[in-house]
Structure 1
Amino acid sequence: MTSSVPPPPSTDSLAGALPDDLPAHRREVFEARVQRWWPDLVEALTPLYPEAPDVAVRLVETCARRFAEREDELHHLDLERSLAPDWFQRPDALGYAAYAERFGGTLRGVADHLDHLGSLGVTYLHLMPLLDPRPGDSDGGYAVRDYRRVREDLGTMADLRELARALRARGISLCLDVVLNHVAREHAWAERARAGEQRYRDYFHVFPDRTEPDRYEQTLPEVFPDSAPGSFTFDVELDGWVWTTFNHFQWDVRWANPAVLEEYADVLLHLANQGAEVFRLDAIAFTWKRLGTNCQNQPEVHCLTQALRTLARIACPAVVFKAEAIVGPDDLLAYLGEGRHHGKVSDLAYHNALMVHLWSMLASRDAWLSSAALGRLGTPPSSTAWVTYARCHDDVGWAISDEDAATAGVEGSSHRRFLSDFYDGSFPGSWARGLVFQANPATGDKRISGSLASLAGVEAGDPHGVDRVLLAHAVTLGFGGLPVIWMGDEVGLLNDPDWADDPTHAGDERWVHRPRMTWPVRDEHGVLPRLRHLLEVRRSLPHLHASTPAEVLLPEETGVFTVLRRHPLGPMLGLYGVTPEERVVPWSTVHACGLDGEALDHVTGQRVRCDERGVVVAPYGVLWLTRQDG
């Protein structure tokens, strides 16, 4: 600890937060954690608040209260995770994401179908927003009314605790969403602000007239241009303009007020004590506002994340954070930690670029552009992991920059329009069956909704549709990190033809790729056994531990996406065909990666020998190559 950092509070000074009957070993553990993490906490808070040391003391007091309430089973999990902090990085780590109501109907219903998750080897279950939302349109549950209650139709907080216990017994970690940028207009903080309580008005960005909002709007993009243009809403009861980035009923909170941080810290630690082990930090990129910018990815965002993560390390170190940062490539790595935040912010971050480029490669039948773009991303800290996925609950936005497109001799806006047209099925010869979501006439951008199987050509009856589904799974499994399967993609569920029948969903095309899971599971396309084989192979490959970075190579054969991992046991080369034709990777590529003579393809279990043509990659084929002895 440097002399510039004030000393941490002693356990004696925390007497009001730590009960007298707390066992001595618990008190000792807590004090040791405070000593270890106090410098990181003060470091994170200092750029944010003038009174940073005082804020830090109040936050540690919150940690003390929640630590004392934590049940023995969770304390034991904290110990296990402290000894094995790479638990989410390992090749046997596998995620699954679902809406509870569409997977099991209720939280108790989810518990009835854990055998299915076990059969896949799932170790991480992300249940989409299940905390109490506002009535009616809640942006899919992301307009939270109460962070301490569960949606009534799903169950109770007691049901959530029981589900978390059942998951832990199977080695599955529960992931919950915590929306950090905003709350519902019906949240107690917003209600009290409208009632005139200045303390709670200060929780939000409130303006008496349009002067300041108009200044901000000059540089703010519109997230939902069709349904929610602009970023500010006049509220009659509030008698002011309030910041509403996403929808008029979602009020952005003001993180420059330390009371907001203190509130959210207590929410997170409370939910950790209910059994949540992973928190998806929703809309984290938007949390800090600065005039003259797009109010995304500001440096203070990473200070806030470091502060929250540090508090979890003190009170509940079994918990990890996942950044929901759907941002450009240049901003992405910071969410896993760069510079002084290296390894101190989120443990996990979505690799949205990998998903986008996967679909770009399949549509264009060319891996050059995507390889160049993905190859220039930096290496994340070795203690973190990308979350890789082929599809998620959201739409696909074509986040391919003009600069990246230019490297392949392509005009960026033209390529983005091509991808939109291809995946909504309007491009001649397209096998995709997606729906347009939130088209922007000013830019020509069209975001696309659709299930993995429907986007890959299965719904259209294309003969290679299922092969593309398996290729998409293989790319996410073979990239390293924590791969997450979206519910139903393991069996090739198609778009839901009845998605608009529910009036609360009728205006949101994203519900087309959120069909209900059918029980017993029906695998009408033969996806499941082939996927299970890939999962089994993945678990056997130490090369896929997330601490080993993925190197995306510029391909000599542009129809093959090529990923190298340099592991201490030897190199692993992933080859992924993105065309319906057989391709040949020159042996020089394989040789340059350190695979001399013969290599072993773990997908087939067969040896791959050098010949005059090189390595043959079947249409939409997958090879995971290592040395025979590696």
Structure 2
Amino acid sequence: MTGFTRGRNLRQNETMRRAPESVHAIADEALAAAPADLRETFGLRLDRWWADLRDGLAGVYSPEDADGLGERLVRLAAAAFLARDPELRRLDAERTLAPDWFQQSDMLGYAAYTDRFGGTIAGVQDKIGYLQELGVTYLHLMPLLRPRPGDSDGGYAVADYRTVREDLGTVADLTTLATALRHSGISLVLDLVLNHVAREHEWAEKARAGDERYREYFYTYPDRTMPDAYERTLPEVFPDFAPGNFTFDDDLKAWVWTTFNSFQWDVKWTNPDVFYEYADIILFLANTGVQVLRLDAIAFMFKRLGTNSQNQPEVHFITQALRAVSRIACPAVTFKAEAIVGPTDLVHYLGQGNHHGKVSDIAYHNTLMVQIWSMLAARDARPAAYALRNLPVAPSTTAWVTYLRCHDDIGWAIDDDDAAALGLSGRDHRAFLSDYYSGVFPGSPARGLVFQYNPATGDRRISGMAASLNGLESAIEQNDSAALDLVIGRMFVAYAMVLGWGGIPVVWMGDELALTNDLHWADEPGHENDNRWTHRPSMPWDLAARRTDGTTPAGRMFGVLRHLIGVRSGLPHLHASVAAEIPALSDPGVLPVLRRHPVGPMLQLYNVTDSWRSWPGDRLAEFGLADGIDQISGDAVRPGDEGNVWLPPYAALWITAG
């Protein structure tokens, strides 16, 4: 009997066994050539995560399929564990000992397209110093795995998950970059598209060639009977240029499910082979050094007749099982849910009920993003306060990803019930926001573009850089210094809310320089029908070289943002395990955010208007902050003679005990 086996028997006697003996036997066989310490480590992880894996699979597949798939996945995880670089194994150990690494207040994300930021993967590596100057600890490079030729939905129509776009570099380059970033204290984040593959992907090509095994990777129908039945309750994602959710394929001689575009084929997660394929891809990417996987289009993964086929319960079972496989082989890897869904569905992607803390580790706080833009347009914090206050509390082991802009359009996820509770019409408020940010509303300085107008619902999503949506072009054209001050003020208070919420704040490339819309977005082939490219400009490195010039909008914004980031990094109050609370408002134009950390309370006050607003001084004492200090300015916060604290236009205060 080996020492490893004796140790396992001891654990069983102490009722610590979680994985059955048959599963450990599979692992023992797969790891027979490995040193004893590695076998022991893998066995401990298997015990820890087996229940999550088995329960996740059981929520989707039959008992027989779940058992067979579970055994295959253990072999797969063991092989990936053996192939893992020793430096990555050390990172696994570090992250196991410090599982809250991504919840720390010094976390700062940055998101960019590789070609538009550095030209190539190697070019991004040359810019690590710039990222470090800003304080970045998390770099999200937009889709860089090989897409289909031509229009690829910005890279989200993936033709091969195991190769890199040829013009960007190779997988070896990606591994080198991940290593260099890791040595610089920066985690690499990549997209993993879970809902669909390109029509040109190997699976789809084999299906089109008549391979029945791969045809079962997709939803295909010989006629319109089932597609029409599904369509009765399915929304359209791109009603302008990709209406409907099914496409007839001449090679298949069948209708195939295509939620997003005709060239993006939805995969069938009810097939255990599809799950196995994606688990293999996750472990492959993990072993290149990727530390965070952004699970793209996760809300759409499971289909159910009579529903909108979004946010189905099986999505969370699938994610739980994928996460468990990852934890067994490479626990340094973190899952991020890209779930741009309604407020009531959002928190489920961080785990509720039986999935509490077992699905994605981090998720986009789409509600906060939308409510920030709503506050800036309406100069009113009441709808935001109501919506944010009524969100369920996320598990304390998870973190929100907060952001002002991303690569995508802005959809106005304003809940009708939330609006009605305040006597508002959700539809009317969404229409107002679209009018305001497209510059149609009287007095609006915004320069956004309408994306995907849906006449059936009236919805109009918006494209545009943050500075453009806040009116920078208008201020420059009018040579209006006061208007420019207000633009910088709006950017300041917006990013203060993003940075002050807790979790991982992410800066969209160019926001740190107040970049405006790319007016030539339609000139590139394949972009002409997609105005989201207006907020995906190339990085003007000549402008970035002058980022310390405080006389320019770029220099002012860089200085403002860098200061906020520096202050944030030193505040334990912003650890993501501490929930943000929304106290009662004292002024409709001031959003209060309270954080009750063991080191003491922190009250944040955000004036979302262009006028002076007050906050009652006695409420500082209510929160234990009568002698508070604003951490952003370093000044004491004291009420005036009339008993109020006064906030200038677009002010932000982060108040802690003095």
Q: TM-score, normalised by structure 1?
A: 0.97
Structure 2 counterpart of 1:48:
60
- Residue 433 in 1 paired to residue 424 in 2? no
Structure 1 counterpart of 2:202:
188
The amino acid of 2:525's aligned partner reads P
Structure 1 counterpart of 2:383:
369
Within the candidate set 20, 31, 45, 1:33 is matched to 45
- Residue 84 in 1 paired to residue 114 in 2? no
How has the CA–CA distance of structure 1 residues 178 and 8 changed in structure 2, closer, same or farther, with 3 Å as cutoff? Answer: farther
Deviations 1:402-458 (A, max 9, x none): 211122222111111111010001111001111111111122111000101111121
CA distance in 2, matches of 1:604, 1:66: 49
Within the candidate set 476, 493, 512, 2:534 is matched to 512
How has the CA–CA distance of structure 1 residues 174 and 8 changed in structure 2, closer, same or farther, with 3 Å as cutoff? Answer: farther
Q: SS in structure 1 opposite 2:592?
A: strand
Residue 54 of structure 1, CA deviation: 1.8
CA distance in 2, matches of 1:9, 1:133: 40
Q: How does 1:163-562 map to 2 (within 5 A)?
A: 163-461=177-475, 462-463=483-484, 464-520=486-542, 521=544, 522-523=546-547, 524-525=552-553, 526-562=556-592
- Residue 23 in 1 paired to residue 52 in 2? no
- Residue 13 in 1 paired to residue 26 in 2? yes
The amino acid of 2:632's aligned partner reads V
Q: SS in structure 1 opposite 2:161?
A: strand
Deviations 1:310-359 (A, max 9, x none): 11110000000000000001101100000010000000000011110100
Residue 251 of structure 1, CA deviation: 0.3
Within the candidate set 601, 611, 631, 1:602 is matched to 631
Q: Which of the pair is proportionally richer in helix? A: 2
Q: Give the share of equivalent positions with the same residue, in percent.
A: 61
Q: Would you say the 8 A contact 1:349–1:386 is kept in 2? A: yes
The amino acid of 2:76's aligned partner reads T
CA distance in 2, matches of 1:245, 1:257: 18
Q: Would you say the 8 A contact 1:439–1:446 is kept in 2? A: yes
CA distance in 1, matches of 2:98, 2:27: 29
Residue 72 of structure 1, CA deviation: 0.6
Q: SS in structure 1 opposite 2:604?
A: strand
Q: Would you say the 8 A contact 2:498–2:505 is kept in 1? A: yes
* Structure 2: unaligned runs, 5 residues or longer: 1-11, 476-482
Deviations 1:45-89 (A, max 9, x none): 112111212211111110011111101110011011111111110
Q: How many aligned residue pairs are there?
A: 626
Q: TM-score, normalised by structure 2?
A: 0.93
Q: SS in structure 2 opposite 1:484?
A: strand
CA distance in 1, matches of 2:138, 2:83: 24
Q: Would you say the 8 A contact 2:28–2:39 is kept in 1? A: no
The amino acid of 2:520's aligned partner reads D
Structure 1 counterpart of 2:621:
591
Q: Would you say the 8 A contact 1:9–1:57 is kept in 2? A: no
Q: Would you say the 8 A contact 2:617–2:638 is kept in 1? A: no
CA distance in 2, matches of 1:553, 1:224: 38
Deviations 1:262-283 (A, max 9, x none): 0000000000000100000000
Q: SS in structure 2 opposite 1:148?
A: strand
The amino acid of 2:120's aligned partner reads T
Residue 459 of structure 1, CA deviation: 1.7
* Structure 1: unaligned runs, 5 residues or longer: none
Q: Which stretch of the first structure deviates more once superposed, 177-186 or 40-49?
A: 40-49
Residue 4 of structure 1, CA deviation: 13
- Residue 618 in 1 paired to residue 648 in 2? yes
Q: Which stretch of the first structure deviates more once superposed, 460-469 or 576-585?
A: 460-469
Deviations 1:509-549 (A, max 9, x none): 10001111122414431111111111111011100000000
Q: Would you say the 8 A contact 1:321–1:346 is kept in 2? A: yes
CA distance in 2, matches of 1:297, 1:192: 30
Residue 11 of structure 1, CA deviation: 4.9
CA distance in 2, matches of 1:243, 1:383: 36
The amino acid of 1:71's aligned partner reads D
Q: SS in structure 1 opposite 2:432?
A: helix
CA distance in 2, matches of 1:312, 1:3: 21
Q: How does 1:149-160 map to 2 (within 5 A)?
A: 149-160=163-174
CA distance in 1, matches of 2:586, 2:145: 49
Q: Which stretch of the first structure deviates more once superposed, 401-410 or 225-234?
A: 401-410
Residue 18 of structure 1, CA deviation: 2.7
CA distance in 2, matches of 1:602, 1:13: 55
Q: Would you say the 8 A contact 2:52–2:321 is kept in 1? A: yes
CA distance in 2, matches of 1:542, 1:94: 14
* Stretches (4+) displaced over 6 A: 1-6
How has the CA–CA distance of structure 1 residues 484 and 415 changed in structure 2, closer, same or farther, with 3 Å as cutoff? Answer: same
Within the candidate set 79, 85, 88, 1:71 is matched to 85
Q: SS in structure 1 opposite 2:395?
A: coil
Q: Would you say the 8 A contact 2:594–2:603 is kept in 1? A: yes
Q: CA RMSD in A?
A: 1.5
